[in-house]
Copies of this chain bind each other. A is one copy, B any other.
Amino acid sequence: MKLTSKGRYAVMALADLAKFNSMNPVSLRDISLRQGISLDFLEQIFYKLKKNNIVKSIRGTRGGYILTKNPEQIKLANILNAVDEEVKTVQCKKESKKGCNGKTSKCITHNLWDELEIHINNFFEQKNLKDLISNSIESRN
């Protein structure tokens, strides 16, 4: 699980989408304006979200994107996995065939990062888009 602006933007954009979803598709341009995210960057992000079947697109003049499911069915873990291709907490996983740091065995802390990754994933597994938008209303944002 990689946590970058790309992931944050994806969550923000989808929260925006969930909020204004009602029935009409929402254009990236609108999201870009409301959330202050570069349109070009959003395009990249939504390309991935679409490939991962989290949104679907409607082309043409009044087109835009809509969620494929209800907000409460979309877990944040799904979103982050969709945009942040590689899953990692901290190095030391990708060289796992040969051990860590070029050694032949796993490093002392190897299990630790495994556990951490699970811990973080749990967090995102337990949150869905609806949680986010109800929270933001609650806190008067």
Which A positions have Cβ atoms within 8 angstroms of B?
A: 3-5, 7-8, 11-12, 15-16, 35-37, 76, 89-92, 101-103, 105-109, 111-113, 115-116, 119-120, 123, 127, 132-133, 135-136, 139, 141
Q: Specify which chain B residues have a CB less than 8 angstroms from the CB of A106 in the assembled complex.
A: 141
B101 contacts A35, CB within 8 Å? yes
Considering the complex of A and B, which 5 residue pairs feature the smallest CB-CB distances, nearest first?
A36-B101, A15-B108, A3-B90, A108-B136, A119-B123
Assembly CA distance A106 to B141 (angstroms)? 7
Q: Specify which chain B residues have a CB less than 8 angstroms from the CB of A127 in the assembled complex.
A: 112
Cross-chain pairs A/B with CB under 8 angstroms, 20 sampled:
A5-B90, A5-B91, A8-B90, A11-B112, A12-B107, A12-B109, A15-B108, A15-B109, A16-B108, A36-B102, A37-B101, A108-B133, A108-B136, A111-B135, A111-B136, A112-B135, A115-B123, A119-B119, A119-B120, A119-B123
B90 contacts A111, CB within 8 Å? no
- Among B103, B112, B141, which residue has its beta carbon within 8 angstroms of that of A36? B103
- Among B105, B107, B132, which residue has its beta carbon within 8 angstroms of that of A109? B132
